[in-house]
Amino acid sequence: MLDEKVLLYLGSLEYKQDQTAILEMEKFAKQTGVPIMEKMGFDFVRQILKLRKPKMILEIGSAIGYSAIRMALEAPNSMIYTIEKDIERYNIAVNNIKNFKLENQITIINADALNKNQIIEDVNQFDLIFIDAAKGKNKEFFELYEEKLAPNGIIITDNVLFKGIVASPENATKRIKPMINKIREYNEWLKNNPNYDTAIYPIGDGVALSIRKG
Ligand code: SAH
Ligand code: MG
């Protein structure tokens, strides 16, 4: 998405102190094709966590727990709720969360996030909602959960540029074309949503930051 040289340069600055267990999750994800958040995308999320200090975080799409765990480590005073519908990934995530001893900070729910869930219903408000599940369903997730967003809350959506293909849909294969079109519709809807200020950043796989207007 960014100039290749710029990306290489930024990658070379990566500090090399990541915990081994995090590197292992990254390796596992790569080997098994689990689409975890890209490093630079997470750099951005981390800064948001430090600036905003959200207490209550909702994540749609846990996969193996990678982003939830990283958020928990960067925002130790937060409570994180995360929803994953795939039972295999859910089980792996539960294990990873245990490995990091984060069971008290992360509540993981095995469910389809398109359905209302009692555990989430029982939470009053979230300060940050992170949408990172089925890319064609971003708007559904957004509309379903925004009623749970704090008045000054923020919503982050991952993969809104999907490997850059969102910007050149003519390059989309037949298989992914519907999803690419859905993301394009979502981005346009989001940018024009009068209740939020949204910026889309071309980092990681494209990250949208929507701040609810006061
Ligand atoms: N946030 C993770 C990556 C999530 S990948 C990270 O960065 O580490 C997207 C995940 O969303 C997949 O595991 C997929 O099974 C899950 N998913 C897709 N649709 C869903 C739905 N309707 N409800 C819950 N999870 C869903
Ligand atoms: Mg993602």
Q: Rounded to the nearest 5°, which phi and psi values hold at 201?
A: -105, 130
What pLDDT score was predicted for residue 14? 75
- Adjacent-strand bridge partners of 131: 60, 157
Per-residue CA distances from 25 to 81, 157, 214 (Å): 19, 21, 38
Residue 17: per-residue pLDDT: 66
Cβ count near 25 (within 10 Å): 25
pLDDT at position 195: 98
pLDDT in tens, the chain (214 residues): 778 899 889 888 877 666 899 999 999 999 999 999 999 999 999 999 999 999 999 999 999 999 999 999 999 999 999 999 999 999 999 999 999 999 999 999 999 999 999 999 999 999 999 999 999 999 999 999 999 999 999 999 999 999 999 999 999 999 999 999 999 999 999 999 999 999 999 999 999 999 999 7
Residue extents of the structural domains in the chain? 4-212
CA trace torsion 69, 209, 182, 59 (10° rounding):
30
Kindly state the DSSP code that residue 115 receives in the 8-state scheme.
S
Dig out the tokens for 41 from the structure: 């995308």
Strand partners, 208: 157, 200
Question: Shortest CA distance to 14 belongs to which of 33, 42, 36?
Answer: 42
Q: Which atom of ligand 1 is nearest to the CA of 29?
A: 8
Kind of pairing, strands 196-201 and 207-212?
antiparallel
Q: Which atom of ligand 1 is nearest to the CA of 83?
A: 24
Measured CA to CA, the distance from residue 185 to residue 162 in angstroms comes to 13
pLDDT attached to residue 84: 98
**pLDDT value at position 18?**
66
What is residue 181's predicted lDDT score, i.e. its pLDDT?
Answer: 97
DSSP state of 1: -
Q: Answer yes or no: is the C-beta of 112 below 6 A from any ligand 1 atom.
A: yes
pTM of the model: 0.97
Nearest CA to ligand 1 atom 15: 86
**CATH superfamily label, 4-212:** Vaccinia Virus protein VP39 (3.40.50.150)
Mutating to test ligand 1, I would choose from 26, 43, 62 the residue with most ligand atoms within 8 A of its C-beta, which is 62
207 touches 158 (CB < 8 A): yes
